[in-house]
Structure 1
């Protein structure tokens, strides 16, 4: 990959957005049998943000995050060549990237959605880097945004305690090959286990028309928590090791470990298997819960705002979740 790229790619700015409504564990315990202590001990989550306004959608959060990223980069929307939206909760089943393109005024940009759930932002980084490194585009806006609260059964304790809504956006830009910041990536899918975490479509059993057509609707989010945990703590460390080996780095070279914010136990277990100290884990899970495709850019933006990450730091980013999909991208921070 290094030898074939025409130009380098790097992230030049990050933006994020979360809804105003904050629901803590005590409030959750009023609708399902649980407690703050039970949730914190098992997940690390203390509160989450939920989109609850009338006529508000993932597009609104994505717009706010995108404008923050554009403002930080001092870039006009018309300079954007491509918009990639990673989401599993679009405002329109045909996709929402085009709505974001119109809302921010990036009328010269091509726009499309990626559906890869919690791995979505990693796939967006990798996809954008390919378009930049092969010389197709110069400035790409990538967005990870989800409002899974709209697909949660709020009487299901297994899922309603976990998820929150949010959005994160990044501007990726072409640069000289020697300044390339996307060092390597490794991606995987195991579709045989897709039923472990899914929002399935179910058809009605009876037809109510002369053409004998069957129609149905999407169900609530369902998850086998134990299987997802076992999948994450086994597959993610292996992906990270394979990616680091491919670019001739080791765990000792890693300054920051940024994983999809699913469960604090998963974050700690992955770090332990890699012999990476917990102090190198970037985590804001306690405040936002699992925001799916938004979790990685949300945490990255917060880490940058708190000055944790400095220029030339090596950051290992891994996403994992529904599909089942998982993947790693290693970047060197250049800003």
Structure 2
């Protein structure tokens, strides 16, 4: 099934223009954000009200633990008490957790209401805000409950990441590197050339990096909107985007999310490269280049020693990518090409 692309706006300074862009989607809005960026949430709330739009703000505790059914229920109850109806609109203001949770709420509240995505982290801008996946976690694993549900619009302001801690830029770059390895050797070279500029948050280079990463992800999800092409011969399958994630999600779960998503995916990519090299799909020289770029951005590459292979295998077995008793991996064939394989 093809993916219906929402309106995507990538513009330095776009945050200040949000009220002028979203008024067509509703007259009643609720912003959902977290405590890390409550000032940003209050700034947007004031701007929306000043523009004449009815708007409320829900501030959640930061962290992966809010991606749960219990928090979803609390948000739904709050939305009802705030007077939200089927013609209301949510605004997801935050990183991947807020985006996943708000999208999930929009998809189920009153059987579906509009929402707008305003990612505020490098990872969310470059990856999770694109593709229409929403979800909450269960104790057994990540995103085991979820929907495919598009925002009406994605508004990306690269200037928002210039105020982020350096670590947040590095974490986001794991998904950017993933996209380059999967589909664009020239972009991989660009990242190598511009590592310093990206890490120093040079606005023009950040915007280029985000825009290219979004373009690559769109090129994949447009062909397989609901991840239905699971045949291992389908090199257009959306499952390609799971490169690094079969191992990475298992590490996140084992660490009780002390390991960030980006860090876990970085380690996962290196680990899954070893599988690809072992199966003679990937040349050792390319595996070294990928690992070197991951290290260059200050991301970890070594498997944590406290987790045994048995623990890792059990955690991977709970993943959505475990189908008919087989684990599916997206494995690189080189820099710029990959395929789906079961192991």
Instruction: Looking at secondary structure, tell me which structure has more strand per residue.
Output: 1
| TM-score category of the 2 structures, normalised to the smaller one | 0.3 to 0.5
- As a proportion of its length, which structure holds more helix? 2
Tell me the TM-score normalized by structure 1: 0.33
Compute the TM-score of the two structures, normalised by the length of structure 2.
Answer: 0.32
Q: Which has the higher contact order (CA 8 A, sep 6+)?
A: 1
